[in-house]
Amino acid sequence: MSHNLYEILTASVKNKEKTFLITEDENTLTYQDIDLLSARIAEQLNKLGIVKGDRLVAQVPKSVEALALYLGCLRSGVIFVPLNPAFTLNELQYYLENAEPKIVICTPDAYAGITTLAANLGINIVRTIEVNDENSLIPSPDIEPENLNFLPVEVAQNDIAVMIYTSGTTGKPKGAMLSHHNLAVNGTALKNCWNFSENDVLLHSLPIFHVHGLFFATHCVMLSGASMLFLPKFSVDTVIEFLPQATVMMGVPTYYTRLLADSRFQKAGCSQMRLFVSGSAPLREETFQAFKTRTGLEILERYGMSETGVNTSNPLQGERRLGTVGLPLGKSELRIVDNNNLPLPPEQVGNVQVKGENVFAGYWRMPEKTKAEFTNDGFFKTGDLGKLSVDGYVSLVGRAKDLIISGGMNVYPKEVEVCLNEIAGVGESAVIGLPHADFGEAVTAVIVSDNLEMSDREIKVYLQEKLANYKIPKQFLSIDSLPRNTMGKVQKNILRQKYQDLYKS
């Protein structure tokens, strides 16, 4: 049995002439086309002396060539390291120093600057993937390839396929090492959980430097021999245009709130849709209900992370329980424990830990950090806080680092945010803890308002009917928008830093 992820991804494709993807300008590529393109890339990497176990850093926009580059790396056994195209040269230096890649792939515009930076770090190979660029890794279509049948290299199931850098909200970003087996196991579990088939057409508008778009979306398509509408980015106009051709869409909550804000988004445009999936950030109950009212369909919320892939999912058939991220996926285990790693009873908030073949191999060149993030019995400490219902549904209440301890009492931000978001005129909110001489941390609400008519005092009175007094924010701050990362997660660390002196006298 082959352990190379590329072979696993393509094993179900019976007809290589089947449409693999359609681009925004309606170019169509078959599975045969992407197979040949990724083979040409694998061949070129081999010619350059890039071999199994070497790292390839890619800082490129979403494109067919960028996806083929990932697949070419899988075929070659080269470790793929995708980076956000928005990173500056200054930011890029850390990643190149840390990953020590053999080759860097970038855009033609960035080529000169990155070549200089890379050379200073002892990295001598820099290429683009623009087909007609003189520095491109991809040969001109006029040049006949020598090896159209580049055979995927043999790998052990625990050999590393991809290194994904975590967001680094605390300290420097860490390279999470994901094996061919990790990704195959999780992709197969998702395909089965969401019942993907060759008849599906996925609307893909996610970035592909992140696990959501690169793994969860693309792997489900390939493992089932399905097709996808491969859009360069999320745009309400484009999504509404292409949605009638799709059967499945994956997105972050922001995608769905933006669609709902447009009157053109109606049930008629979703006539072929069987599934909308949301992840990477919490889905508001208001969004869930408004979406169901508008389309007649319920968004399926799931929970995943870079280090583990998807851990839980609401069921395709069965109750998609509001305010939860569903049930543990596949054969993975999930438990809620106290700070001594002792299991907690249902409905009690604690630390979320997971274990399974989907869980990553560790952090790149950080053995001590890796050891610290796993329990003695092999569970990964996700850093999330949550609880389990009696029948096994998982609810998340926030990140452990976002927990507020005010006057010795634990305050879970999500509980307060849910109440705030029910108030007419509150667009969204983020609750944070800020240094306070008396309380240690003061509960503070940051609000994005839309014609909010209630005063701070009236909001407090409203909250006092729903929450214990120690959970009521001491102050309410109004801003135009909450800071988010590329996947829509609110960056509370930025808010804490910005307002850290709020209570200093």
**CATH number where 257 lies:** 3.40.50.12780
Mark whether 230 and 371 lie in a shared domain.
yes
* pLDDT of 120 higher than 90: yes
Residue ending a domain, choose from 346, 365, 399: 399
The number of beta carbons lying within 10 Å of the beta carbon of residue 475 is: 14
Residue with the two structure tokens 């804000």: 261
The number of beta carbons lying within 10 Å of the beta carbon of residue 464 is: 12
Q: Are 363 and 374 in contact (CB under 8 A)?
A: no
pLDDT score at 495:
94
pLDDT score at 505:
67
Mark whether 386 and 431 lie in a shared domain.
no
- pLDDT tens for residues 222-252? 999 999 999 999 999 999 999 999 999 999 8
Q: Are 336 and 344 in contact (CB under 8 A)?
A: yes
Mean pLDDT over 266-276 rounds to 96
Asked whether residue 16 is domain-assigned, the answer is no
Mark whether 393 and 411 lie in a shared domain.
no
Position 376 confidence tier, pLDDT thresholds 50, 70, 90 = very high
* pLDDT of 147 higher than 60: no
The number of beta carbons lying within 10 Å of the beta carbon of residue 13 is: 21
- Of residues 436 and 186, the one with the higher pLDDT is 186
pLDDT score at 453:
87
Asked whether residue 280 is domain-assigned, the answer is yes
Mean pLDDT of the chain: 92
We report the CATH number of the domain holding residue 414 as 3.30.300.30
Whose CA is closest to 413, among 404, 426, 422, 423?
404
Task: Give the three-class secondary structure for 379.
Answer: coil
Residue ending a domain, choose from 351, 384, 399: 399
pLDDT score at 328:
95
- pLDDT tens for residues 10-62? 998 989 999 999 999 999 999 999 999 999 999 999 999 999 999 999 999 99
pLDDT score at 83:
94
Mark whether 316 and 380 lie in a shared domain.
yes
Position 264 confidence tier, pLDDT thresholds 50, 70, 90 = very high
Mark whether 293 and 334 lie in a shared domain.
yes
pLDDT score at 169:
47
pLDDT score at 450:
82
Mark whether 383 and 485 lie in a shared domain.
no
* pLDDT of 156 higher than 90: yes
Residue ending a domain, choose from 384, 399, 414: 399
Q: How far is CA 491 from the centre of its chain?
A: 15
Asked whether residue 364 is domain-assigned, the answer is yes
Domain that holds residue 424: 403-498
pLDDT score at 473:
95
User: Quick one: tokens of 192?
Assistant: 């089965």
Mark whether 295 and 165 lie in a shared domain.
no
> Between vectors from CA 120 to CA 114 and to CA 126, what angle results, nearest 5°?
40
* pLDDT of 171 higher than 70: no
Mark whether 385 and 411 lie in a shared domain.
no
Helices and strands in the chain, H and E counts = 15, 25
pLDDT score at 308:
96
* pLDDT of 477 higher than 90: yes
Measured CA to CA, the distance from residue 57 to residue 96 in angstroms comes to 8
- pLDDT tens for residues 60-111? 999 999 999 999 999 999 999 999 898 889 889 999 999 999 999 999 999 9
Position 504 confidence tier, pLDDT thresholds 50, 70, 90 = confident
Q: Are 37 and 31 in contact (CB under 8 A)?
A: no
Lowest mean pLDDT among 159-168, 297-306, 374-383: 159-168
pLDDT score at 143:
61
pLDDT score at 75:
96
Query: Which helix H or strand E contains 254, and what residues bound it?
Result: helix 253-260
Mean pLDDT over 408-425 rounds to 87
Mark whether 164 and 258 lie in a shared domain.
no
pLDDT score at 146:
59
pLDDT score at 470:
86
Asked whether residue 193 is domain-assigned, the answer is no
Asked whether residue 57 is domain-assigned, the answer is yes
Asked whether residue 390 is domain-assigned, the answer is yes
Q: Are strands 125-127 and 160-165 parallel, antiparallel or unpaired?
A: unpaired
Mark whether 386 and 477 lie in a shared domain.
no
Asked whether residue 6 is domain-assigned, the answer is no
Mean pLDDT over 410-435 rounds to 89
Q: Are strands 248-251 and 327-328 parallel, antiparallel or unpaired?
A: unpaired
Measured CA to CA, the distance from residue 340 to residue 376 in angstroms comes to 12
* pTM for the model: 0.87
Mark whether 367 and 411 lie in a shared domain.
no
Asked whether residue 186 is domain-assigned, the answer is no
Mark whether 173 and 211 lie in a shared domain.
no
Number of structural domains in the chain: 3
